[in-house]
Amino acid sequence: MTDEGERWIRFLRKYGPLPRNENMYDEHIRRSARRLGVLPITFKHPLEESVLSVFNGTSAPKPVILTGTAGDGKSHLCGKIWQRLGGDASAWASDDIYFRLETAIGERSFTLHVIRDLTALPDQDEQGRYVSKAALLQQLSETVFDPSSDTLFLLAANDGQLIETWRKLGPTGNALRARELFEARLMGDADPEPTAHLHLFNLSVISSATILELALDSLLAHPGWPACISEAKVDGFFGSLCPIRHNYELLQTPLVKSRLAALFRLCDFNELHTPIRRVLMLLANGLLGHPLAKDRLLVPSDVSRIITNGTSYQASLYSNLFGANLGGTKRESLEIFEYLGRFGIGQETTNRVDNILIFGAEDDNLMPYYDVLISADKFYGGTDRYGAARRAYVETPEATVGDRHVFLEMLIEQRRGLFFKIPEAWADELRLWSLTVFAGAGGYLADIARPLFAGERVPRHVVASLVNGLNRIFTGVLVSSDRELLLANFSMNIWATADG
- CB count within 10 Å of CB 339 equals 20
- CB count within 10 Å of CB 15 equals 28
Residue 358: C-alpha distances to residues 216, 236, 281, 420 (Å): 34, 32, 34, 19
Instruction: Give pLDDT, residue 9.
Output: 97
Residue 458 DSSP symbol: P
Write out the H or E segment, with its range, that includes residue 175: helix 175-187
Residue 265: C-alpha distances to residues 107, 119, 325, 482 (Å): 45, 31, 24, 28
Cβ burial, residue 24 (10 Å; 0-12/13-18/19+)? middle
Per domain, the residue ranges of the chain are: 4-42+206-341, 48-205, 351-436, 459-497
Collapsing DSSP to helix, strand or coil, 157 comes out as strand
pTM: 0.92
d(CA 162, CA 165): 5
Instruction: Give pLDDT, residue 213.
Output: 98
The rounded percent of the chain whose pLDDT value lies above 90 is 82
Please name which of 452, 227, 276 lies closest in space to residue 284, comparing C-alpha atoms: 276
Angle between helices 208-220 and 276-288 (to 10 degrees): 50
pLDDT in tens, 22-76: 555 677 788 889 999 999 999 999 999 999 999 998 888 999 999 999 899 999 9
Q: Could you tell me whether strands 151-157 and 64-67 are parallel, antiparallel, or unpaired per DSSP bridges?
A: parallel
d(CA 140, CA 120): 17
Query: What does residue 365 show for φ and ψ, rounded to 5 degrees?
Result: -75, -30
Please name which of 18, 22, 24 lies closest in space to residue 274, comparing C-alpha atoms: 24
Per-residue pLDDT of the chain (500 residues; tens, 9 = 90+): 469 999 999 999 999 999 876 555 677 788 889 999 999 999 999 999 999 999 998 888 999 999 999 899 999 999 999 999 999 999 998 889 999 999 999 889 999 999 999 999 999 999 999 999 999 999 999 999 999 999 999 999 998 899 999 999 999 889 999 999 999 999 999 999 999 999 999 999 999 999 999 999 999 999 999 999 999 999 999 999 999 999 999 999 999 999 999 999 999 999 999 999 999 999 999 999 999 999 999 999 999 999 999 999 999 999 999 999 999 999 999 999 999 999 999 999 999 999 999 999 999 999 999 999 999 999 999 999 999 999 999 988 776 666 678 899 999 999 999 999 999 999 999 999 999 999 999 999 999 999 999 999 999 999 999 899 888 888 888 888 888 888 776 554 555 555 54
Q: Tell me the β-bridge partners of 277.
A: none
User: Which amino acid is it at 141?
Assistant: S
pLDDT in tens, 329-338: 999 999 999 9
Give per-residue burial for 278-298: e unless 16+ CB within 10 Å, then b. bbbbbbbbbbbbbeebebbbb
